[in-house]
Amino acid sequence: MTEAPAWTLSGFGDEIDDDPVVQVAVLQALGASAIEVRSAWGVNVVDLDEDQLAGLHRLLEDRGQSVSAVASPIGKVDVGLPVEHEVTRLERAIAAAHALGTRDIRVFSFYRSPEQTPEDVRDAVLTRMRALADVAEREGVRLLHENEKDIYGDVPERVLDVVESVGSDALRLAWDNANYVQCGVRPFSDGWGLLAPYVVYLQVKDALAADGTVVPAGEGDGELRETLTALRDAGYDGHASLEPHLASATRLGGSSGPAAFGRAARAFRDLTRQIGVTLR
C-alpha cells in the first residue's frame, strides 16, 4: 500500500503574536511542527542579537518546534542601494539561520522607483542577486526567492529570469499563490509550467482577483487546489508555511492573530485532505 504524501506544516509565527511562546503554542495546537521566523519579541530576525537568537533557539528546541526558514527582508529595498547593503544584511540573516538550525532564507528581488521599468533595473537586480547567491554558496545556505508584488521578480517570466540568470543551486523559489493573484497572474495556469523545476518551498495564502484581498486557502482565485495537486504529483515533501495576512498586510509583513490564523490553517488542511496529503 502506497504511503500518503506528507508535508511539514509551518507558519509565520509573528502573524500570531510577538511572543514566540504564544507563536509556538498556537502553531502546535494547529498541528504545525515547524515555524518560519520573521520576528520575535517584535524584533525582525536580522536584528536579533546573539543572545536573543540563542534564547529563541532554546525555546524552540525545548518545545520540539523546528525552523522551516528564516523569513528575512533581504531584497525588500530599493535596487538603487549599494550591493553591499543587502550583502551585509544577508550575513546577519545567515547568522540567524545557523543559530536556529535551518539552511533556508527567504529573499526578494528588489523594488524600483516609480519612474523605472523592470527592464531599467534588470542588470542591477541580477548583479545584486548574484552577489547574494555567492554569499549563500559560501555559507552553505539556500535562498528562497518569494514572488512579492512590485519587486523585479513579481510575475512568472521575471521570476524565471532571476533564477536562471543567476544560475546558482543556492537560489531557489518559494511559491506564493496570493502574491501572483495580486499581480494579475493566474498562478497555476500562467506560472507553474515555467517555474515548477525551481520550487522548493510553499507559502500558503490565497487572494481575490477583483481587489487583491487576501483570504484563506481555497477561498480565492489563487488556484490553490491545482497547485497543491501538482506539488503532490511531483513528489513534493517539503514545508507548507502559513502566511495568512488576514488582519493586515504591509510591505514588511502582516498579521492575523490566533483566531484568524487558526481559520487559515483549517482551510488549508481541508484542501490537503481532499487531495490525499497529510500534514505533520
Provide the pLDDT confidence category of residue 28 given band limits of 50, 70 and 90: very high
Reading the block at residue 1, the C-alpha cell is 500500500
CB-facing half-sphere around the CA of 63: CA atoms within 13 A: 22
Per-residue pLDDT tens over the stretch 147-165 = 999 999 999 999 999 999 9
* Euclidean distance between CA atoms 277 and 280, whole angstroms: 10
Closest CA to 269 of 3, 32, 71, 36: 32
The residue length of the chain stands at 280
Q: Which superfamily is assigned to 6-279 in CATH?
A: Divalent-metal-dependent TIM barrel enzymes (3.20.20.150)
- pLDDT over 60 at 1, yes or no: no
Helix (H) / strand (E) element for 128: namely: helix 118-139
10 class by beta-carbon count within 10 Å (0-12 exposed, 13-18 middle, 19+ buried): buried
Per-residue pLDDT tens over the stretch 222-267 = 999 999 999 999 999 999 999 998 875 556 566 778 999 999 999 9
Return contacts of 20-29, CB within 8 angstroms, 24+ apart.
Answer: 20/56, 20/59, 20/60, 21/59, 22/258, 24/59, 24/60, 24/63, 24/65, 26/258, 26/261, 26/262, 27/65, 28/63, 28/65, 29/262
Provide the pLDDT confidence category of residue 2 given band limits of 50, 70 and 90: low
Per the CB < 8 A criterion, the answer to whether 78 and 40 are in contact is no
Reading the block at residue 215, the C-alpha cell is 483570504
DSSP 187: I
Place of cell 509551518: 10
Report the chain's mean pLDDT, rounded to a whole number.
96
Domain residue ranges in the chain: 6-279
3-state DSSP assignment of residue 151: coil
Per-residue pLDDT tens over the stretch 74-127 = 999 999 999 999 999 999 999 999 999 999 999 999 999 999 999 999 999 999
DSSP 103: -
Strand ranges (E), the chain: 6-11, 34-37, 39-40, 43-44, 66-70, 104-107, 142-146, 171-176, 199-204, 206-207, 214-215, 239-242, 248-250, 253-255, 278-279
Provide the pLDDT confidence category of residue 273 given band limits of 50, 70 and 90: very high
